[in-house]
Structure 1
Amino acid sequence: MTLDELKTAANELALKHWGVPYTGGFELVNRKWRRMYACFSFNNVTGKCAIRMSSAVNSQRTREEVLGSLLHELVHWRLWSQGLPVHDTAEEFIAECIRVGAPISGTKNAQHAYERYMARTEAN
């Protein structure tokens, strides 16, 4: 997907799930990342944030997978913009990913946090 397509998709997804357009920056780099599909960076002092993706990584994934990663990063953005915890292991983050259908990070910590969250919510 091109940068323009990703920006358009980010706005459409943000409007669909939260009723607001995506207000952060967007960067498409040409490096092949080994351990991640995308990332959300933010600066609480300046109030600036951005989603970064790799065109090299995206080219090896399906459109659906790329959009899933984009939605995952948009969950980070939305929670950050609301002053809520944004880490992949935060209960609020996991709950919002589940609500909007975003994939959970594949890291061990994130997967364990997801399992703990699911065990707690299923027990209630």
Structure 2
Amino acid sequence: MAIDNQLVVKAADPVAAIAPPPAAKLYFDTGKTDLANDAEQTLAPIVEWLKANASAKAIISGYHDPRGNQAVNEELAKNRAKAVRDALKAAGIDEARIELRKPVSTDGDGDLAEARRVEVSVE
């Protein structure tokens, strides 16, 4: 009686990739660039992801409401985005991994507070 010795190799189950966190939204008062008291907490999942994924980048997009002077609003949105960038840098994220996107006007679906925001996502 012959014994057939065959080695069967089973491929390991693929490791599930952990999805990046959803975009963080930081809101601002009218005409202000100061971060809210909860900004560090809001940014924490983004910071953790960036620290764990060295090739990932933070994408910062500033928004502003449609009221008032367009140029002033764009500058305000840019300065808000820079405030968020500075918070990421203070949390240990290298500036080379942070990209600022052009300010965008939005009506916030009618909610002007929603329009005055900065969103941070990862790529």
TM-score where L is the length of structure 2: 0.29
Structure with the greater relative contact order (CA < 8 A, sep ≥ 6): 1 or 2?
Answer: 2
Q: Which one has a larger percent helix, Structure 1 or Structure 2? A: 1
Q: Which one has a larger percent strand, Structure 1 or Structure 2? A: 2
